[in-house]
Amino acid sequence: MPVEVILPKVDMDMETGTIEAWHVKEGDLVRQGDTIFEIGTNKAVMEVEAPATGAIRNIRAETGVPISVGTPVAWIYLDGEAATTPSEPAAAAATVAAATSVSKTEVPATPAIAVAQTSSGLRATPLARRIARQNGLDLKTVAGTGPRGRISEADVKRHLEQRPRCAPAQETRPAPAPSANASEGRLRPFSAIRRIVANRLSESVRTAPHFYLTSEIEMSAARDLLGRLAKRHERIGAPKPSLTVLIARVAARILRDHPVINASTEGEATRFHERIDIGIAMERDGDLVVPVLRDAGAMDMPAMTREFARLREGMAKRTLTPAELGGGTFTISNLGMYGVDSFTAIINPPQGAILAIGRTVDKPVGRNGEIVLRPMASFTLSSDHRIVDGVAAARFMADLREALENPELLL
């Protein structure tokens, strides 16, 4: 019997995944352990290895379409096995094969045609169609778990739960027709990560009423402390601490006193998190990723520095699990190293706030009636006004200033 290749579950709470790219094509010979496709979850991209050695047949999953975990996406025929379809009608297999060949086109020159071919093969139950209709949902974006990929009520509901706050108007908007100059320039389809980020941030902007508080904070004491910590870390064999980690450490400390900032929206309720998990916004190959310092409130500086280094290395090597790349309770985004003075960040939903940090630069400030130069940095807190009020955010910023300017008070 041919060996089934399924879309694997690679994260604990994962229900669907998207095949980011196939590394093999119909008929290719693969060895067990070869990477055969990349899978994007809502948190990360993972490589999937061939479960057996043989020929890939009946590739039936398209790239870019969410698929429920456990769905067979191809079969591997062992040496000598007749290449008949094992459990699928020949016609269905042929349809899938055709669709796959379209999706394998490097850059679809005629995306409209590709879409049309996909939608004509769409299988969905009447109930699934009805719910999709009511929610303005395009079923092409939903993964079907039923026979021959049929989309059921459960598939649609799962899909809607994953993107609960998407405005229907956006969903029903038809795919834009290729513009007149469509052939100009280069068209790169969104990666799975890009699509996830795009959806989450669009959703955040559409649904979370943002407001922003900016504080200029003197960084003299923090710099001194960072210098002292570097020496200590060298002594104890810990990596050199960065300003970002220090700020994360300080934030983790004061968040204990500001539960409303370490909170998320959940429907029409506020979820106050007991643990402080701080996400650090980072860039990898042009994509935004947010590894999480899990239980940051319980870490001392060396531990946090080590964990941050591990995350950064894992990210570069793509060894992080989806769990390590999502699920924070508060996010820090530092663009100071790129020379940015100040900026406002978009909240990473369902979190309630994000802290944006600009560069530290000497600025003239008044001290004891005199104008003096001090290293100053701009901190901007974006808050979701549904759960965070201005005064609460301001108190957090005040504590942040006090802690950064007088870090010994944290001891």
Q: From the CB of 301, what's the least distance to other proteins, in Å?
A: 51
Measured from the Cβ of residue 82, the count of other Cβ atoms closer than 10 Å reads 7
**202 lines the binding site for other proteins (CB under 8 A):** no
**127 lines the binding site for other proteins (CB under 8 A):** yes
Among 146, 239, 259, 314, binds other proteins (CB under 8 A): 146
Q: From the CB of 146, what's the least distance to other proteins, in Å?
A: 4
3-state secondary structure of 380: strand
Q: From the CB of 69, what's the least distance to other proteins, in Å?
A: 15
**91 lines the binding site for other proteins (CB under 8 A):** no
Closest by CA to 41, choosing from 4, 69, 61, 62, is: 69
Burial track 180-212 (b if 16+ CB lie within 10 A, e otherwise): eeeeeeeeeeebbbebbbebbbebbeebbebee
Active-site annotation holder among 224, 277, 389, 399? 389
Active-site annotation holder among 13, 155, 385, 399? 385
Q: Name the residue nearer to other proteins (CB basis): 147 or 227.
A: 147
**89 lines the binding site for other proteins (CB under 8 A):** no
**153 lines the binding site for other proteins (CB under 8 A):** yes
Q: Name the residue nearer to other proteins (CB basis): 42 or 68.
A: 68
Q: How far apart are CA 60 and CA 149, in angstroms?
A: 9
Q: Name the residue nearer to other proteins (CB basis): 139 or 353.
A: 139
**126 lines the binding site for other proteins (CB under 8 A):** yes
- The amino acid that residue 54 corresponds to is G
Alpha-carbon dihedral angle through residues 266, 269, 274, 275, given to the nearest 10 degrees: 30
Q: From the CB of 154, what's the least distance to other proteins, in Å?
A: 8
Q: Is 159 a catalytic residue?
A: no
Q: Name the residue nearer to other proteins (CB basis): 60 or 294.
A: 60
**118 lines the binding site for other proteins (CB under 8 A):** no
Closest by CA to 16, choosing from 145, 189, 139, is: 145
Query: What DSSP letter does each residue of 58-124 carry, written as one string?
Result: -----BTSEEETT-EEEEEEPTT-----SSS-HHHHHHHHHHHHHHTSSS-S-HHHHHHHHHHT--B
How many residues bind to other proteins according to rule CB under 8 A? 12
Q: How far apart are CA 145 and CA 65, in angstroms?
A: 12
Among 27, 33, 89, 147, binds other proteins (CB under 8 A): 147
**Quick one: which segment of 127-135, 203-211, 331-339, 359-367 binds other proteins (CB under 8 A)?**
127-135
Cα→Cα distances 300→1, 256, 306, 354, Å = 55, 14, 10, 22
Q: Name the residue nearer to other proteins (CB basis): 147 or 364.
A: 147
Cα→Cα distances 162→117, 147, 156, 159, 387, Å = 26, 22, 10, 5, 21
**104 lines the binding site for other proteins (CB under 8 A):** no
**113 lines the binding site for other proteins (CB under 8 A):** no
Q: Name the residue nearer to other proteins (CB basis): 156 or 225.
A: 156
**125 lines the binding site for other proteins (CB under 8 A):** yes
- 332 strand-pairing partners: 280, 355
Q: Is 362 a catalytic residue?
A: no
Q: Exposed, middle or buried by CB within 10 Å (0-12, 13-18, 19+), for 137?
A: buried
**136 lines the binding site for other proteins (CB under 8 A):** no
Q: Name the residue nearer to other proteins (CB basis): 15 or 218.
A: 15
Active site positions, annotated: 385, 389
Residues in touch with other proteins (CB under 8 A):
125-130, 146-147, 150, 152-154
